Amino acid sequence: MKRVIRVALIVLGCTVLGLLAGLVLQSPILKVISDGTFTRWRSVGSPPEEISSLLGVGQYGPEHVVYVETEAGSVYRCCPQAPGEWEKTDATRYMYDQGCVDLPRRAAPPPSPVRACVEIAAYEWVTERTQYALLDDGAIWIWHHHVGLDTFINVIGSSSLIGGLVGGLLAWYNERRRKTDA
């Protein structure tokens, strides 16, 4: 019974230390995340016809999609969850056609020069920004950045988990050492 209590105290103590370390380090970690350090651009392809302009971003089902107009006057939409799957549509209704705001300072730039750009952003309980960029080669690329309460919880939870794992390793090493000393 003493052995179980000893192991539990080591693991619990290290978990609490991990939690405290997470609370201390969460501000600089969140700053790095907020600056766009871990966000990357990814391609969503292009429709079968050459794009003349980005119309905007709209809601289609549970997600946002980008609407584009082609040189032939057709309208297509594509969602980031199904890159490369462009759907021709008659609907020219879209919710957001605002131009893009500068990216956070540590965010990676688009892979090539941007011809046109549209963005949708939310700044309530979370900071969530999605930019769709029409590049010079005619492809659409997306940049998505999300920072919210879940990000904070992930930082705190991860540090506690790492502390608990370190505590488990220390307890295992301590018990192993006790057996060899006995």
Give residue-wise pLDDT tens across range 91-100: 666 666 677 8
Domain chopping of the chain, boundaries:
2-34+150-181, 41-148
65 φ, ψ to 5°?
-130, 155
* Exposure string for 59-79, b = 16+ CB within 10 A, e = fewer: ebeeebbbbbbbeeebbbbbb
Specify whether the CB–CB gap between 117 and 100 falls below 8 A. Answer: yes
In order of 33, 141, 173, the CA distances from 127 in angstroms are 11, 20, 43
- The proportion of the chain whose per-residue pLDDT surpasses 90, expressed as a percent, equals 6
Vertex 51 angle, CA 50 and 54, to 5°: 170
Specify whether the CB–CB gap between 43 and 68 falls below 8 A. Answer: no
For 17-48, give the secondary structure using H, E and C.
HHHHHHHHHHHHHHHHHHCCCCCCEEEEECCC
Q: How far apart are CA 166 and CA 84, in angstroms?
A: 44
Specify whether the CB–CB gap between 85 and 98 falls below 8 A. Answer: no
Q: What is the pLDDT of residues 30-70, one digit of tens each?
A: 888 878 888 899 988 888 889 988 888 887 777 788 888 89
Q: What is the pLDDT of residue 95?
A: 65
Q: What is the pLDDT of residue 129?
A: 85
Specify whether the CB–CB gap between 142 and 130 falls below 8 A. Answer: yes
Query: 167, 171, 161, 155: which is closest to 13 by C-alpha?
Result: 167
| pLDDT confidence tier of residue 182, bands split at 50, 70 and 90 | low
Q: Mean pLDDT, the chain, as a whole number?
A: 83
Residues 6+ apart with CB under 8 A from 3: 175
- The proportion of the chain whose per-residue pLDDT surpasses 70, expressed as a percent, equals 95
Whether 111 shows a pLDDT value over 80: the answer reads yes
Q: How far apart are CA 154 and CA 29, in angstroms?
A: 11
Once rounded to an integer, what is the mean pLDDT over residues 172-177?
Answer: 84
Query: Could you tell me the pTM of the whole model?
Result: 0.71
Given phi > 0 = left and psi -120 to 50 = alpha, else beta, which region is 150? alpha
Once rounded to an integer, what is the mean pLDDT over residues 132-152?
Answer: 86
